[in-house]
Amino acid sequence: MASVQMKSLTIVPKTGSEGKPAPSPTGSVDSGVNFDSPTSLGQTIASRDFTDLPTAVRGAREQTPESPIVVVVDGRPFTPAQVECMARELAQARANGEFPRTTTPTYVVQAIVEDFDRLRKLREARSGAPRSEWPQMRNATNLLISITRDIRNRDELRGDRVEATTVQDRVSNMMQGVHGEANLYRLVQHAVHHSIQNQAVQQDLAAGGPTMSAILTEIRDAVQEQAVHGKNGVTETNMENVLEEVFGMIEHALVDAAGPLRLNVNRMDNITNTQQSITTTQQSQLDAVGQHVNAIGGYVNAMGSHINSLSANVNSVAGNVQAMTTQVGVLQTFVGVLPQMVTQAVQDILPQALQQAVAPTLAPIILTRLQERMGAMKGDVSGKDTDCGFGEKHSKPEKLRGGDKKKPSFFKRFFDNSKRSGHDDDSAASGLCF
């Protein structure tokens, strides 16, 4: 069985100089009652000493310094000055466009600390670069997007919570109003019931009082008359005893008659108590149903926010797909044109590049072959005529056949003559006739 210990209440007198009540331990100046341990009458906190306390306790009270108020966020303590400084820094960063804005109130310390940590990480990622270079910093841009998404999710979640709390408060106030109205109705009903009962009793007393007095007077007169005449063994000496016996019999009969009525009243009280308990149970069930309805409403709101988030994601994916389709079309066009571009580039660049690369190497060889050929021409004139005639015979049909065609390049004619020189006896002579 639970026990409750009540502290004694002592009256604290008012001081005559100030005309105000003495201060109570709770800090209230309106109370004239001291809710402290039992003390002598008129003792106040100012006149109280701690001589009866142990020495260790008094030393702890005297030596313990007053620590400043701190706020612990994620295991880290912060003083009000630090929180205020962080809030000012965040406000300045949001005003400059350096940090995304939020709808969270400025008195939420958790949000201030989290946003300040995000701002510090964002500044470290930007490394003090000017604002014009921020879009080119990929890591800082990705971090800013992530921070913006987290802040928006927090704001949406807080808005949902605030809305759910507001709805719950309104429903609770409505339920409290319903409870108050029900209690008032029960009080009025109880008062009316008792008023009706009292009125009925008063009416019964008013109606039956004279009749009962007349009956009792008639009984007393009849007993006195019998005592005067000495009838039925009633005399003046035992007349009071006879009256007591008669009245006792009447009272016993009334008690026997009122017994069933009393039982019925008890049964009615039991039925009333049962109905009251049933009403209380039904009210608790209604409260539980109201709580379930509130929970379902919260789930519906959360589902709506999730659906909105999914819709935004789907729209973003659709935009990305459309952009990717455009890029794929551009790539297909580029791939279709690429072979033609490569062929044209090779045709335009390769002959000139080969000529520039091979000419320095072939020039000494050609000079050497010319010198050798000139030496051979001095020793053998007939061989020169033969070779030159052979070259002229072959060159004329080539000119006739290629009159309407583009003239071959130097390297093509050189390599063709080199191939033919493998079948001739004098490779030097054939190589010179190009």
Local confidence band at 43 (pLDDT 50, 70, 90 cut-offs): very low
Name the pLDDT band for 36 (thresholds 50, 70, 90).
very low
Q: What confidence category does residue 427 fall into, taking pLDDT thresholds of 50, 70 and 90?
A: very low
The domain segmentation of the chain, as residue ranges, is 1-64, 71-168, 169-309, 368-374+385-400+407-434
Least confident of 107-116, 134-143, 164-173: 164-173
Q: What is the largest CA-CA distance in the chain?
A: 209
Highest mean pLDDT among 208-212, 214-218, 300-304: 300-304
Does position 55 have pLDDT exceeding 50, yes or no?
no
- Say what the pLDDT of residue 194 is: 65
Percent of the chain past pLDDT 70, that is, above it, reads: 63
Token representation of residue 388: 């030159």
pLDDT tens digits along 346-371: 888 877 777 777 777 777 787 788 88
pLDDT at 188: 63
CA angle 263, 267, 273 (to 5 degrees): 145
Q: What integer pLDDT is reported at residue 40 of this predicted model?
A: 39
Higher per-residue pLDDT: 407 or 316: 316
pLDDT at position 192: 63
Give residue 85's pLDDT: 92
pLDDT for the residue numbered 325: 92
* pLDDT per position as a tens digit, 121-130: 988 988 888 8
Average pLDDT over residues 326-332: 91
Instruction: Give the integer Cα–Cα distance in Å for 161 and 270.
Output: 46
Averaged over 197-208, what is the pLDDT? 61
CA–CA separation, 43 vs 275, rounded Å? Answer: 53
Structure tokens of 74? 């994620």
Q: What rounded mean pLDDT belongs to the chain?
A: 71
For 76, phi and psi rounded to 5 degrees? -115, 125
Locate all alpha helices (DSSP H) within 64-137, ordered by sequence. 80-95, 109-126
Which whole number is the average pLDDT over 123-150?
A: 87
Residue pair 78/113 in contact (Cβ under 8 Å)? The answer is yes
Statement: residue 16 has pLDDT above 80: no
Segment 178-202, tens digit of pLDDT: 776 676 666 666 666 666 666 665 6
Q: What's the rounded Cα separation, in Å, for the pair 114 and 110?
A: 6
| Range with the poorest average pLDDT among 155-164, 302-311, 350-359, 373-382 | 373-382
pLDDT at 393: 44
The pLDDT score that the predictor gives to residue 155 is: 86
Q: Which residues pair with 11 in a beta bridge?
A: 33
| pTM score | 0.28
At 164 the pLDDT is: 79
pLDDT band at 314 (very low <50, low <70, confident <90, very high): very high
| Predicted confidence band of residue 9 (pLDDT cuts 50, 70, 90) | very low
